[in-house]
Amino acid sequence: MKNIQEKIEKLKAELLEYSSKYYSENISVISDIEFDTKLKELEKLEEEFPEFKQMDSPTHTVGGIASNKFKKVAHKYPMKSLSNTYSISEVVQFNQRVSKSIKKFNLAYILELKLDGLSIALHYEEGKLVQALTRGDGEIGEDVTDNIREIASIPQKLSQNFTGEIRGEIVLPISEFKRINENRAKMGEVEFANPRNAASGTLRQHDSKVVKERQLDGYFYFLQSPENYYISTHLESIAYIEKLGLKTTGYFAKCTTLQELENTINKYEKLSKKLNFETDGLVIKLNECGLYEQLGTTAKSPRWAIAYKFPAQKETTRLLAVTFQVGRTGVITPVAELEEVLLSGSRVKRASLHNFSEIKRKDIRIGDRVVVEKAAEIIPQVVSSIVGSRSGDELKIVRPVHCPSCNSKLVEKGMALICMNRQCFEKVKQQITYFASRSALNIEGLGEKIVEVLLTHKIVTTLSELYDLESKKSQLMELDGFGKKRVNSLLENIEKSKKISVSKFIYSLGISFVGSVTADILEDSFHTVEAIRSKSVEELLAVNGIGVQTAQSIFDYFRDEHCQIELEELLSKGFQFTEKTYTEVGDSFFYGKKILITGSFEEFKRDDLKEIIKSLGAQNVASISKNTDILLVGNEPGSKLEKAQNYGIMIMTESEFKLKLTEMRK
């Protein structure tokens, strides 16, 4: 059983890291199909061993996290992600599940293009655009209304006095992407990797003029609560969206047989290569909207729709060399240096080789012609070598003995090679870059290149020394490119970063297996940095959502002598940790109410629920009566549910309770 738990923890940590990179940093470490294979493996293990299922599992979470650059806003209706399929047989299985669930056959589906951009939810009141939110983590998004107003194709005033929510995708046209990259190349700037990356980065600009200049576009495909507008089918909702004045792709096909589905999939796959926006597949939706509620959703996906991903685009090229990158934890990662090849609209010179065991398994050699794949991702990967094309001059890839940055002797840990030198230049650079990144302390103006300059000139050597830069202002201003305005802005942003939540601070330390979700759990459970660092492995394991590997990693980090010294130095710089509080609206909703808990819960321990209820000014009650205000129900609620219905008591599910808390939190 211990091996099973360790396997679950490892899969969970990998998937959370991949998701964080993709949604928060626009970096894809592995392909979609590899991600989904690992996700399905985790789902299967969690079903077989539910005792090891945790609330921060990627099988529950959606998307990434909302950036601190923009105001965070709770979605009125969670923005779920779609489950992926990669074959017609999986589409057939999806149809069988739907038919069996609703006991209805000969169903009609709508096929539509799946755009590769940034999901957006537009809110209109009486026909006027009032708010635009990104997906964020599915429950909380970023308010990017000002930037959306700069997109010419999105009307600020609709043709009718519509009030409601419409969802779609923000994309950068391929022609515009090429124009921007040509200009960036002329200016000596780093080119965007692909249109999705460019669209995501553009929409998150603080300067809305940049959004206007880059000519983003928007296509819309989903009307929230269509029944409110007397609409009964998805195809009718698309026609209504178009009538309001919003753009759709115009490619929607109704299919009533599996043969029609297969034919349309093949047709749209060929069509997708001729369009001026990137697509990575199709979305298959049940046409009859009235069945959506009956089918419901899983923790992260609707059961009435599914994504069909096109096969990955592949190209062949020559592997010229292999370089070795040093990560913030010291892990050495091999990277393929390639003859330039055009792949999914991007010029590719580098690709991931993942690790040394993969190199050995695939028998990849320097000089090989290799197959490079890019399935809706930013970092391509080497899939295989073409052994038949070898001349005999190819060289085996040799594992390095010494760190390519500091020349320290590398240490083997499992399948990984690690640099253990704490002063390793590249390792420290990655640690500081991670600490300052948007997902962590969000220090604007302190990207990897600036960190490298500071380290090269020995102005900074540790995390804590960032907070001593005010005293080195004159040194900074002597550096190339560091004018007075830039230096003052950087110092101001560093100072601003001292006011931060406990969870963000913990996340920024880069503790292995501690992502944003785990950091939130730690703050919610222990409240302060001091409390978190003092806990034993057993105390950490007692928290719902923290497994064995994560608990041990947290414990080891706070017992490491070097980490303790660095943490003390950081804490001495005057951090002001903000507390999670509730709004008056939230307090008034729960305050004084009598709440009864019944059933078993997936994400909360009963004791934790009772503490939360108590903190909201509400009262926990032990039995149901006509005086009970809310019945909080989990799985298998028993007879209390029927009694609550008879008494007219408000019934709240775990997800509804969680959403209410999210709305209330500042």
**Torsion (CA) 605, 606, 611, 614 in degrees, nearest 10:** 150
CA dist 654 and 666 (Å) reads 20
Helix (H) or strand (E) run with residue 335 in it: strand 332-343
Q: Which residues of 406-422 are buried (b: 16+ CB within 10 A; e: fewer)?
A: bebebeeeeebbbbebe
> HSE on the CB side for 279, CA within 13 Å?
23
Distance in angstroms (rounded) separating the CA atoms of residues 500 and 581: 14
Report residue 174 as tokens: 């391929």
Number of other CB atoms surrounding residue 559 within 10 Å: 10
Torsion angle defined by CA atoms of residues 658, 659, 661 and 664, in that order, rounded to the nearest 10 degrees: 180
Q: Virtual CA dihedral for 454, 458, 459, 465, nearest 10 degrees? A: 100
Which residues contact residue 283 at a Cβ distance below 8 angstroms, ignoring those fewer than 6 apart? 82, 111, 112, 113, 114, 221, 305, 306, 307, 308
Beta partners for residue 417, in sequence order: 412
Task: Name the residue among 451, 446, 450 with its Cα closest to residue 461.
Answer: 451
Closest CA to 566 of 503, 528, 510, 494: 510
Three-state DSSP class for residue 513: coil
Structure tokens of 89? 């047989």
Residues 189, 261: Cα–Cα separation, whole Å: 44
Q: Which amino acid, one-letter code, is at 487?
A: V
**Distance between CA 409 and CA 237 in Å, rounded?**
63
Looking at the annotation, which residues are catalytic?
A: 114
Kindly give, in sequence order, each residue whose CB lies less than 8 Å from that of residue 31, ignoring residues fewer than 6 positions away: 312, 373, 374, 375, 377, 381
Pairwise CA distance, residues 190 & 425, whole Å: 23
Are 315 and 341 in contact by the 8 Å Cβ rule? The answer is yes
